[in-house]
Amino acid sequence: MLDRCLKADIRQPEFRINAGYFILTLWRKTAGIESRLESALAAKILLILKIGEQGKSGMASELGHKTVSGELHKQVKRLLELELIEMTIPDKPNSRLQKYRLTEKGKRFLIEKE
Residues 58 and 25 in one domain: no
Per-residue pLDDT, 112: 79
Per-residue pLDDT, 53: 97
Residues 38 and 81 in one domain: yes
**Which CATH number covers residue 87?**
1.10.10.10
Say if residue 31's pLDDT is above 60.
no
| Listed residue (6, 84, 3) closest to 48, CA to CA | 84
* Residue-range definition of the domain harbouring residue 9: 1-30
Span 41-82, pLDDT tens digits: 999 999 999 999 999 999 999 999 999 999 999 999 999 999
Sequence-ordered alpha helix ranges (H) in 19-69: 34-37, 40-51, 56-62
